[in-house]
Amino acid sequence: MNMSIIRSIGFALLLLVTACARADSDIVISNAWARASAPGQQVAAAYMSLQSKRDATLVKAESNVAGTVEIHSMTMENDVMKMRMMDELPLPAGKAVHLEPGGLHLMLFDLKQSLQAGDKAEFTLHFKYADGTSNQVRIVAPIRNRADHAH
């Protein structure tokens, strides 16, 4: 185990204690953060790790700082990074799904304010379980210029 992994785990545990106190027991959201926006910028991205004890699907996301939030994937096609909107994001039981720079992310459109490092953004995530029941989880994510930990 190298130092950066140990740091990541320590950071994740810290966030579990601070950020996840209100999370539903079946779904744990950790490492949530939103990227600070440049002045005049209308879009931004948010990242987090999602893990569900049961098969679940993220079907919708909302934020107090954005008019619209979309689930995006990012893939390399012919040396070009392409973002694609996903209608939903599957969360297989027990498997952590990481939204992180260069990969899956929440895309925030129509920012209501510029996102300043040090501020916070709220998100409401809507989940559906395999049995048809649904669940909402509200989180508060810090706004940062970049990830605080390395992968």
Question: Applying CB under 5 A, which residues contact Cu ion?
Answer: 72, 83, 107
Of residues 82 and 95, the one with the C-beta less far from Cu ion: 82
Work out the burial of residue 97: count CB atoms within 10 Å of its CB; fewer than 13 is exposed, 13-18 middle, 19 or more buried: middle
- CA–CA separation, 110 and 112 (whole Å): 6
Least distance in Å: CB of 76 to Cu ion? Answer: 14
Tokens of 19: 């950020």
Least distance in Å: CB of 83 to Cu ion? Answer: 4
- Sequence-distant (6+) residues with CB within 8 A of 57 are 88, 89, 90, 91, 127, 128, 129
Least distance in Å: CB of 74 to Cu ion? Answer: 7
Least distance in Å: CB of 43 to Cu ion? Answer: 8
